[in-house]
């Protein structure tokens, strides 16, 4: 697949320790820490590099107090919460940090922080809310720079990667998902997520060796 560096950005979605076996008490995605080399490799085909981060508070109505509560619906009138999750990626903790081997945050062109409000647990990196009305600025930032193509990897394929990819497709970008730079929480939901992204127009590669610089 040919990519033109000048109109392409690489997007690292939530590549945080809290989604990896480095933080087993959080939301460890199997092999979540194995995506770093591929994220770094895909970035060499892009003129800009973005990262999104879950930046959660320690306490929120969506936090599951016991493992059994995970995936249970959040009760009450919370339009921007759906199901409960184990506490993860809390600001100031190890789980919030980027995976070892990724650039320092200051070396990314844009860092998007999401999930800060305890009453909102978004998945996609383009909006702070599930209704997708409050932009994080990612789409505007990319548009302003004339970027038309995104190479996407990160965690987890079946939640934050999927939702981010669908948001970018709806915003009119060409999206290449690098599956070698992604890992999912569960096989079934990961398969479904890949099918949904494909139906909505995403392209897929299984490693950045399948990319060629060009225009
Ligand atoms: C994610 C579940 C809950 C993700 C975040 O980054 O994919 N998944 N919170």
Q: Give 23's contacts (C-beta < 8 A, 6+ positions apart).
A: 17, 88, 94, 95
Residue 197 covered by a domain: yes
Reported as a single tens digit per residue, the pLDDT across 117-157 is: 999 999 999 999 999 999 999 999 999 999 999 999 999 99
| CATH at residue 27 | 3.40.50.850
Q: How high is the pLDDT of residue 33?
A: 98
Residue 91 covered by a domain: no
Residue 10 covered by a domain: yes
Q: How high is the pLDDT of residue 215?
A: 80
- What one-character DSSP code corresponds to residue 72? P
Is any ligand 1 atom within 6 A of the Cβ of residue 138?
A: no
199: tokens are 């139906």
Residue 3: CB atoms within 10 Å: 22
Is any ligand 1 atom within 6 A of the Cβ of residue 19?
A: yes
| Range 66-83 average pLDDT | 96
Residue 31 pLDDT class (50, 70, 90 cuts):
very high
- The domain of 34 spans 2-53+97-113+122-214
DSSP string, 120-139: ----SSSBSSTTS-SB-SHH
Residue corresponding to tokens 């820490």: 33
Backbone angles phi and psi of 68, in degrees to 5: -65, -25
Residue 131 covered by a domain: yes
Is any ligand 1 atom within 6 A of the Cβ of residue 41?
A: no
Number of domains in the chain: 1
Position in ligand 1 atom list of the atom nearest CA 158: 7
Residue 163 covered by a domain: yes
Residue 79 covered by a domain: no
Residue 86 covered by a domain: no
Residue 90 covered by a domain: no
Indicate the average pLDDT of the chain: 98
Regarding pTM above 0.75, the answer is: yes
């Amino acid at each position: 697949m040919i990519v033109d560096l000048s109109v392409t950005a690489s997007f690292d979605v939530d590549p945080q320790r809290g989604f990896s076996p480095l933080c087993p008490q959080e939301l460890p995605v199997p092999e979540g820490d194995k995506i770093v080399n591929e994220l770094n490799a895909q970035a060499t085909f892009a003129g800009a590099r973005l990262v999104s981060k879950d930046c959660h508070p320690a306490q929120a109505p969506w936090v599951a107090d016991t493992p059994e509560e995970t995936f249970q619906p959040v009760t009450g009138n919370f339009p921007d919460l759906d199901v409960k999750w184990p506490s993860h990626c809390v600001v100031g903790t190890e789980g919030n940090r980027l995976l070892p081997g990724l650039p320092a945050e200051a070396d990314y062109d844009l860092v998007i922080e999401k999930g800060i409000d305890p009453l909102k647990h978004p998945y996609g990196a383009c909006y702070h809310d599930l209704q997708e009305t409050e932009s994080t600025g990612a789409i505007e930032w990319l548009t302003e720079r004339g970027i038309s193509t995104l190479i996407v990897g990160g965690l987890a394929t079946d939640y934050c990667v999927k939702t981010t990819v669908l948001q970018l497709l709806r915003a009119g970008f060409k999206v290449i998902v690098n599956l070698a730079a992604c890992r999912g929480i569960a096989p079934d939901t990961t398969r479904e997520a890949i099918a949904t992204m494909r139906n909505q127009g995403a392209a897929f590669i299984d490693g950045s060796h399948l990319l060629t610089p060009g225009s």
